[in-house]
Structures are given as C-alpha cells and as structure tokens.
C-alpha cells in the first residue's frame, strides 16, 4: 500500500502531530508492509504543490491539531486548495486524525462533523476521522506514557493495513472521555489548586522568554 501523510501542525516537524504520525507508521509496520511519505503542510508553497501530491496518491492521511475549537488557518487553506478535486474521479482514499490539548473529545466534534461532510467530496472513499484528546505535553512525557497514549493510533493503523478501513470501534475508544465525569472534575480542581495544571504552560512561557508577558492582551 502506498500511503501519503500530511502533517498539518503549524509547528511543522517538531510537533505532537509528528509523534502521532510516527506511531501510526509503527502500527502499520507491525501489521505488514507500507510504502509511505510524510509531507509538512506548512512547507507547501502553493496549491499546485498540493495538487501534484494529492492526485498521484493512493491513500491520504491528514493529521492536525485543534486550534481555537476549529482548525489552524493553514489547514483551511489546505482544504480550499483541494476544492478543484470535488466530485472528480480517480481520487485517493482519505482519512483524518485530529487531536486536541484539552482532554475531552467533545471539543473536536464540530471539526469532525466538518470533515465528515467534506471528506467524501474530495476522495474516492472517506475512511473517517479519529479524535485523539490530551495530546499537549507529549514532548516532556516519558516514552512509556506516550506509547500508552498512542496505543489506539497504532491499533487503528494495524487494523487499517489488514482491512483497508478505519475501525469504528478503535475510533470510538480513542475519542474518550467525551466529557469529564464528576470524579475527574474533582481531581482536576485539586490539581489546579496545587498549581500543577499550569506547570507545562509556565514551562513554555519561560522557554520562550515570555514569562513576564503572560497577562499581555495585545488585541484588547
């Protein structure tokens, strides 16, 4: 199988999308042989760059993060660039993995609805959209923690190599929890009260020399 993967993170190669792609490929290789190529969306300069890749692909997987309850702006442009393919013959199969910083899958439901609508219009077969919550901070987590979190990604890939489909049971398992239950909310409040919830964001602010600007309101 020839697989074309697009990484739609504005962070490019150094992103959580890259980690997800890495695990998807591992899952494919656990199940069989796959010939793949990864493209970084932010490196595509014009619509023709995308058209050339898209029309010669057999299967396309697009991985990108949730941004402000929707998609990064460059992904909107990516879909606009694909408009000439709507309803055309000889298109690739197409599937998506969308992921979010927040831990509840419900945040990604509107974006999945959008992809469920346009996916069939720009493909020969729409494989579906997998939601993966809680992906922020993987870069500072242990490899064991990341491997556990990425289990459903590898399972989806392995099942895909065997059946040519995205397994709906694995996709449902990945999109959990839909919302936190009362117990989880108590634990989160506790962690927040102890100041641990802000740990990663404070780390990023410090790393970017922006610790003293965390209250800045440039558009206010």
Ligand X SMILES: Cc1cc2nc3c(=O)[nH]c(=O)nc-3n(C[C@H](O)[C@H](O)[C@H](O)COP(=O)(O)O)c2cc1C
Note whether 39 binds ligand X by CB under 6 A.
no
Stretch of 12-20, 34-42, 160-168, 173-181 lying at the interface with ligand X (CB under 6 A):
12-20
Note whether 129 binds ligand X by CB under 6 A.
no
Please identify which residue in the block is written with the tokens 């729409």: 126
- Give the shortest CB-113-to-ligand X separation in angstroms: 15
What is the DSSP annotation of 149-199? Answer: HTHHHHHHHHHHHHHSS--HHHHHHHS--SS--HHHHHHHHHHHHTT-TTH
- Give the shortest CB-70-to-ligand X separation in angstroms: 7
Question: d(Cα 148, Cα 210) in Å, to the nearest integer?
Answer: 32
Among 22, 79, 101, 165, binds ligand X (CB under 6 A): 101
Stretch of 22-30, 62-70, 170-178, 204-212 lying at the interface with ligand X (CB under 6 A):
62-70
Stretch of 25-33, 83-91, 95-103, 140-148 lying at the interface with ligand X (CB under 6 A):
95-103
- Give the shortest CB-188-to-ligand X separation in angstroms: 14
Is residue 166 within 8 Å of residue 98, measured between CB atoms?
no
Note whether 112 binds ligand X by CB under 6 A.
no
Through-space distance between the first and last CA atoms of the chain, rounded to whole angstroms? 51
Listed in sequence order, the residues at least 6 apart from 85 whose beta carbon sits closer than 8 Å to its beta carbon are 51, 54, 55, 91, 122
Note whether 85 binds ligand X by CB under 6 A.
no
Among 4, 6, 9, 146, binds ligand X (CB under 6 A): 9
Nearest residue (CB) to ligand X, 26 versus 42: 42
Please name which of 71, 65, 70 lies closest in space to residue 15, comparing C-alpha atoms. Answer: 65
Tokens describing residue 220: 């206010």
Q: What DSSP element (H or E) covers 117? A: helix 109-118
Catalog residues that contact ligand X under the rule CB under 6 A.
9, 11, 15-17, 65-69, 99-102, 107, 135-136
């Amino acid at each position: 199988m020839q697989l074309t993967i697009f990484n739609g993170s504005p962070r490019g190669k150094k992103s959580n999308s890259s980690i997800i792609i890495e695990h998807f490929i591992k899952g494919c290789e656990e199940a069989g042989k796959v010939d793949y190529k990864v493209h970084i969306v932010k490196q595509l300069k014009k619509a023709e760059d995308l058209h050339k890749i898209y029309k010669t692909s057999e299967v396309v997987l697009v991985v990108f993060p949730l941004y402000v309850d929707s998609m990064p702006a460059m992904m909107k442009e990516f879909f606009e660039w694909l408009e000439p393919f709507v309803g055309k013959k000889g298109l690739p199969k197409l599937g998506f993995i969308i992921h979010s910083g927040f831990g509840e899958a419900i945040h990604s439901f509107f974006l999945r609805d959008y992809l469920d609508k346009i996916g069939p219009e720009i493909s020969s077969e729409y494989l579906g959209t997998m939601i993966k919550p809680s992906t922020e901070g993987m870069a500072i987590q242990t490899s064991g923690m990341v491997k556990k979190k990425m289990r459903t990604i590898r399972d989806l890939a392995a099942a895909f190599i065997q059946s040519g489909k995205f397994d709906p049971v694995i996709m449902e398992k990945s999109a959990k929890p839909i919302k936190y239950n009362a117990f989880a909310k108590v634990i989160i409040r506790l962690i927040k009260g102890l100041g641990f919830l802000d740990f990663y964001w404070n780390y990023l602010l410090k790393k970017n020399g922006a610790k003293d600007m965390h209250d800045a309101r440039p558009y206010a």
